[in-house]
Amino acid sequence: MFPANHKTLFVLDHTPYFGISCENPIEFEFLKGRTGFMPPISKTLWTSSIESAVEYSRIVWDLFPTGKLIRFFASDNVAHILNTWSSSQQSISHIMNGCALIGVPPLPSSVSPPPDYTVLHGLRAAIESMCEPTEFQIEKIKTDRGKILNRCRVICITSARDNESMKRLEEIFLTVLSQQNKVVSGSDTLLRISHCHLVIINTFPINMESSVNNHPPINLSPLLTTEVHSIKAPQIPNKLASLILEHYDLASTTVTGIPMKEEQNASSSANYDVEIFHSSTAHTAILKGNPLDSAAIRTMKEGLEYETVTLKWCTPRGVTGNELHNCIAMNRITPVDVNSRPSLCLINFLLNGRSVMLEMPRKAGGKITSHLLAAHGGEIFIHSLHSARSVLEEPPSISEGCGGRVTDYRIQDFGLLIKQNTLVALTNKNSYEKPLNKIMERLNRQTKFWPLTISSTLIFNLKQYIDPLPALFVKETLTEEEVFICRNVIFNLIGLESKMEPLQAQNPGQRVKGQKRDDQYKAIWNELENFLKSSLYSDNHKVVYQCLLECHNFNNIDEDKSSEKLDFDEALNQLDNISTVKDENAQRASVIRATTDSPMSPPPLANVPAFSLQNSYKGKTLYDIFENMENEKICNRPELAGRKIEHFRLYVDLDSDGQGGYRNEGLMDAE
Amino acid sequence: MPTVILLDVSLSMTRPVQLSDGTETTRKQLAINGIEAFLDHLGAHSKLEFIALMAFSSLYEERCPFTRDTNLIKTKLKNIDDYDKTCIETAFHGVGQMVLGEWGNNTSCQIILVTDGSTGIGAMSLKESLATVNQRGVSGPVFPLPFPFPTKLHVVCIAGSNEPSFIKSKPLYQKLIDYSGNLGSIQVPENLQTESNVLTIFQKLAEEMYTPFKGVLKCGSLETKIMLSPTPMAHTKTTDFSTQTYNISEIIKVCGFIPVPDISSPMALSRHLILPVSSQKQETSNESGTTDDNLVSDESNTPSFCVLLHGALKVENRAALVEVGHNWFGFVYSWADSKKKSNLMLTILPPGSDVIPWLGDLNDLGVADMYTPEQVVAFPIKPSEKRSYSQNGVVWIRQAGLQSDIQKILRHARKLPDKTQQFYKELNRLRKAAISLGFLELLTGLAYIFEQECMQLPGTAHPDCALQLQHAADLLRKSQNRNITFVLMPLQTNYNAS
């Protein structure tokens, strides 16, 4: 928590001394063999330091787009402040423009007294700036009223005469730091500095030796830790590369074996390596595993002070984006040598939407796919993949669990719901409510009445008669026009019913519950009523519901009549539907009969459940039972001629004697 | 989560125990009976858990690799010989290697150390090990704790709670647990008078360790009871400015759906199977082996929302974004281990709504038809600023970078006047960078190179070539042009004037 790398401050020496050359002329291979004198081109100390500092920032801002802030100060006879903590000024282009404005270091002055050229101006300005809170610190103080630790890091590139003057520089820094903390102690807007890490890079041209020695981090006070690195100017980038790994807990990976066409000879291809930086967590999985395996892939970077892990490019097969990999860590990457041809080749490959697997060899033989490189939205990431055994192996299939044997789920309809509720990103959300909450409300409405299976619903199987009512009715509000449409659906249905049109399922193969027309209508009205009743979200919804109630008679008396009329068929239907259960019961009953009843017992009635038959013996005289047996015999006789006639009117006396049970009627009829 | 049972088979475990019913047994036998009780509980309630058995004294031996077959472990328990003295550090080295080799460093593991309160003698005793944790040189092995994988360490002591040896070693055990990550417990029976004292401890431990997650998967008004396997754990997230512990909610709520290719493998904390649980059954899990066939077939014939969701997600190749806790999200999708067996899987993301940069803030996702087309942005979301590798920036840290930039300009120069635009574009790019970096020597050097190039032009070269090169060289030399806002323009000649 509260790492120093939240606030880094570069203080660059811009005094006349830094205008001198590094004495490291650039060789131009392509000019070799040409005649004529070419004056040597060499960077100045200033150019070397600013380009190294910019490179450091490039890596940081590529890997941590927010939350890791860097400021730049140049110091000659005054401090030049190149940017602020504001995130809008945390970019390379901002820094480069600032550098162009301050220009090259001033020439040594001939006026007397000479201006006070020193790096201390910049260090002072940096110390003051450390006390300025960043947006993140302000936010933290505001939201949690939390006490925060204001840790910072200053990287100062300068040149000192000897150890003595370097020591003095550190002491002055500590004094100013302590004073600054006193100054801000009463301030509401400025923060006290909790700790500062001062990294001094003492640099000089390559043809010189410095009498300043390196020293490792030393705690000068609880407030300040300092370290000194004394290096030749062309070495600054390498030094900063090792330091950045430490400062931001980064690691280096070398992707090896990248097949690439030769620049000169496009027909042949050679293998190249590209080095990338990323957070060290990307390596945790492979380096904490088998020590032998990890030792084999770690090598010291040639000429540098850090290790790199070498992983092999694995030519991608097919599209890999279509599945969710088991990714245990994900970090942004940046190439170390951003403009080299191999780097550009790898980057463009990834930015074009393809991904690369990285392999790690195993000592025990074989190799494992340990990482995935892929770009998302123009940013490249390294995904660490889970490569060990999974605790989820051989899981039971979903078809083995609850509901696994059911085959008529409304998959297609739910697929439609999924499509309707597919999430997209939004710009300028103009409501205070979380958009996600609005979707959840909508999902609530859309699933309020949602039968899971095809066999448990009718209205959703007969969409052509009902649409677009279901889609409209789950909305939060209904417009007048939509009310009109919904009412039309109801009217239309009434029309069809009165015309006695049979309802056809949308899919010819689909079995619609209730083969009889009347049942269908009754079921569809009831289901529709349930659906509408469950979704009365607004007054207009109620208008539609009311319309349904008015148009279709759900009146009790009526319902009684119709239900009586339907009862028998309904029962038969239900018998059909639950036939499996029924059969089991029937079988069981017959087993009981076979073992408990006397040989004289009557055979079971075909249509009447065995249990109710037994019940019917209760409280009857012997005569009744005898009579029943006689009836049964009658049943076993050849079929009555009347029954064979197709349009024989049954239940003729039903209207006159409404309360009679159908079973008795049936028997009488049979007589 | 996988469990290693680490059984002490040192001589002290063979000490006889007089039970209150008069029979005599040994500590080792009590331990074995206890472990069997533990395995029975697992076999009945948590069939998907992996268990391994390791025996140790001064050495260690893997008696049974990780398996779901509890009976196999039981048979391995039957014939374990007795060896010399207790050496816990060595055993932990073995456990570390076994777990790393099998599960890697990302799977949390539980370790049950079954011992008897005597912690060994001499240099490799637990007391010595712990005393020298911080003094390990380069030569000696480092102390195995904490393991590189998340660990819960339970110490079960087959000893009476007031035995002197236990009282002495208890703080040492606690230290071990602290080192291992401070999750775990020390279990000890009150006394060894009855076997059931020991058995209860193991059974309770099993119940505690494998508390199944029971919750509800909700999609709007549709919901179903579910179990997650393995049980998800609370997560503590530490950022630069805060540390916060997040807990898994019992209600996993669907917030919407996203095409799987759009999600593209973000980092996940853990993955869990979603197992629908029958609502009619009072039993805690659908895994108990005692259910009769009728009940099973009943269950599998009762429609379950999980199966519907799974089927539809699979057909549509989408994942459901779910809220698993306060401001904590995950994805539910169809996953297949093999080609045949397909499953409903929950992937839990790190807590927070900003964990997938290319999806933006998850709380700000919406459904297209609720907004105007201008408000909708397609996935993946691009960051407001391009990264350096897609900016064509100038980096001259390595000489090759500078050389290739100059070569590019010269290549264009040879093809003047066709490449006039490109020549000046590249030249201005280089010039601007040189001015920013204070690299003025490069400008005069480049002017010099241009003049050389002029002199060495072949006779076939276009006359404009020489004119433009000389013009550019003159402009580079003029010090008043060292302002980055100034742009070098081509010389208007008869050849390129349109």
Residues 6 or more apart from A248 whose CB is under 8 A from it?
A5, A60, A63, A64, A68, A279
- Partners of residue B358 in chain A, C-beta under 8 Å: 376-377, 379
Query: What is residue B437's predicted lDDT score, i.e. its pLDDT?
Result: 93
Token readout for A380 is 């490249």
Nearest 10 degrees: Cα torsion B245, B246, B248, B249: 120
Both A94 and A48 in one domain: the answer is yes
The complex's ipTM?
0.83
Q: Which residue of B has its CA nearest to A387?
A: B104
Query: SS3 of B139, please?
Result: coil
Both A169 and A262 in one domain: the answer is no
CA distance B489 to B475: 9
Q: Which of A247, A275, A300 is the last residue of a domain?
A: A247
How many Cα atoms occupy the beta-carbon half-sphere of A344 within 13 Å?
Answer: 9
Check: CB of residue A424 under 8 Å from CB of residue B368: yes
Q: How far is B18 from chain A (nearest CA, A)?
A: 41
Check: CB of residue B149 under 8 Å from CB of residue B42: no
Q: How far is A320 from chain B (nearest CA, A)?
A: 9
Mean pLDDT across the stretch A21-37? 75
Mean pLDDT across the stretch A36-60? 90
Mean pLDDT across the stretch B399-414? 89
- B333 with A324: Cβ contact below 8 A: yes
Mean pLDDT across the stretch A569-582? 47
Residues 6 or more apart from A245 whose CB is under 8 A from it?
A251, A252, A277, A280, A306
What is the domain count for chain A?
Answer: 4
Residue A398 counted as domain residue: no
Query: What is residue B184's predicted lDDT score, i.e. its pLDDT?
Result: 85
Both A219 and A72 in one domain: the answer is yes
| pLDDT at residue A395 greater than cutoff 70 | yes
Write the CATH number of the domain with boundaries B3-209.
3.40.50.410
Least confident of A337-341, A467-471, A507-511, A532-536: A507-511
Q: How confident is the model at residue A651 (pLDDT cuts 50, 70, 90)?
A: low
- A51 with B397: Cβ contact below 8 A: yes
| pLDDT at residue B196 greater than cutoff 50 | yes
- Which amino acid does the sequence have at B232? P
- We report the CATH number of the domain holding residue A276 as 2.40.290
Residue A418 counted as domain residue: yes
Query: What is residue A35's predicted lDDT score, i.e. its pLDDT?
Result: 60
Mean pLDDT across the stretch A264-281? 85
Domain that holds residue A462: 407-576
Is B328 part of the contact surface with chain A (CB cutoff 8 Å)? no
Cα of B223 vs its chain's centroid, Å: 29
Residue A97 counted as domain residue: yes
The answer to whether domain B213-375 has CATH 2.40.290 is yes
Query: What is residue A319's predicted lDDT score, i.e. its pLDDT?
Result: 53
Both A366 and A484 in one domain: the answer is no
Both A300 and A236 in one domain: the answer is no
Q: How far is B162 from chain A (nearest CA, A)?
A: 39
Query: What is residue A59's predicted lDDT score, i.e. its pLDDT?
Result: 95
Query: SS3 of B453, please?
Result: helix
Average predicted confidence (pLDDT) for chain A: 79
Check: CB of residue B142 under 8 Å from CB of residue B136: yes
Give the residue from A316, A320, A412 showing the smallest Cα distance to A356: A316
| pLDDT at residue B224 greater than cutoff 80 | yes
Residue A271 counted as domain residue: yes
- A324 with B219: Cβ contact below 8 A: no
Residues 6 or more apart from B58 whose CB is under 8 A from it?
B10, B83, B84, B85, B86, B87, B90, B124
Q: Which of A247, A278, A304 is the last residue of a domain?
A: A247
Mean pLDDT across the stretch A330-334? 94
- Partners of residue B265 in chain A, C-beta under 8 Å: 323-325, 327, 330, 372, 374, 383
Token readout for B347 is 């992937």
DSSP A428-496: S--SSS-HHHHHHHHHHHHTSS--SBGGG-STTT-HHHHTTHHHHHTSSS--HHHHHHHHHHHHHHHHH
Q: How confident is the model at residue B288 (pLDDT cuts 50, 70, 90)?
A: very low
Check: CB of residue A538 under 8 Å from CB of residue A477: yes
Residue A396 counted as domain residue: no
CA distance B193 to B17: 8
| pLDDT at residue A390 greater than cutoff 50 | yes
Residue A399 counted as domain residue: no
Both A559 and A621 in one domain: the answer is no
Pairing of strands B222-229, B270-276: antiparallel
Give me the residue from A341, A376, A424 closest to B377, CB to CB: A424
Query: What is residue A580's predicted lDDT score, i.e. its pLDDT?
Result: 42
Query: What is residue B289's predicted lDDT score, i.e. its pLDDT?
Result: 44
**Most confident range, picked from A27-41, A344-358, A421-435, A624-638:** A344-358
- Under DSSP, the state recorded for B231 is P
Is B275 part of the contact surface with chain A (CB cutoff 8 Å)? yes
**Which backbone phi and psi does B130 adopt, to 5 degrees?**
-70, -30
Give the residue from B1, B3, B231 showing the smallest Cα distance to B114: B3
Query: What is residue B285's predicted lDDT score, i.e. its pLDDT?
Result: 42
Both A44 and A110 in one domain: the answer is yes
Both A355 and A494 in one domain: the answer is no
pLDDT tens-place string over residues B462-482: 888 888 899 999 988 887 777
CA distance A225 to A219: 4
Residue A589 counted as domain residue: no
Give me the residue from A51, A338, A423 closest to B257, CB to CB: A423
Query: What is residue B319's predicted lDDT score, i.e. its pLDDT?
Result: 92
Check: CB of residue B8 under 8 Å from CB of residue B114: yes
| pLDDT at residue A588 greater than cutoff 80 | no
Residue A522: Cβ-neighbour burial (10 angstroms; 0-12, 13-18, 19+): buried
Both A283 and A352 in one domain: the answer is yes
| pLDDT at residue B24 greater than cutoff 70 | yes
Question: Which of A610 and B55 is assigned the larger pLDDT?
Answer: B55
Q: Distance of CA A463 to CAs A518, A524, B41, B467, Å?
A: 18, 11, 51, 78
Query: SS3 of A359, please?
Result: strand
pLDDT above 90 as % of chain A: 34
Both A130 and A19 in one domain: the answer is yes
Q: What are the E-state strand segments in B220-341?
A: 222-229, 235-238, 243-246, 251-259, 270-276, 318-325, 328-336
pLDDT tens-place string over residues B65-113: 899 888 888 888 888 888 888 888 888 888 888 888 888 877 888 999 9
Query: What is residue A504's predicted lDDT score, i.e. its pLDDT?
Result: 67
CA distance A243 to A5: 12
- B341 with A396: Cβ contact below 8 A: yes
Is B436 part of the contact surface with chain A (CB cutoff 8 Å)? yes
Q: Distance of CA B297 to CAs A402, A435, A581, B329, Å?
A: 9, 42, 12, 34
CA end-to-end span of chain A, whole Å?
A: 93
Give me the residue from A104, A341, A388 closest to B440, CB to CB: A104
Check: CB of residue A74 under 8 Å from CB of residue A101: no
Query: What is residue A489's predicted lDDT score, i.e. its pLDDT?
Result: 78
CA distance B113 to B7: 6
Q: Is B148 left (phi over 0), alpha (psi -120 to 50) or beta?
A: alpha
Both A48 and A140 in one domain: the answer is yes
Both A425 and A536 in one domain: the answer is yes
Q: What are the E-state strand segments in A327-420?
A: 327-335, 356-361, 367-376, 379-385
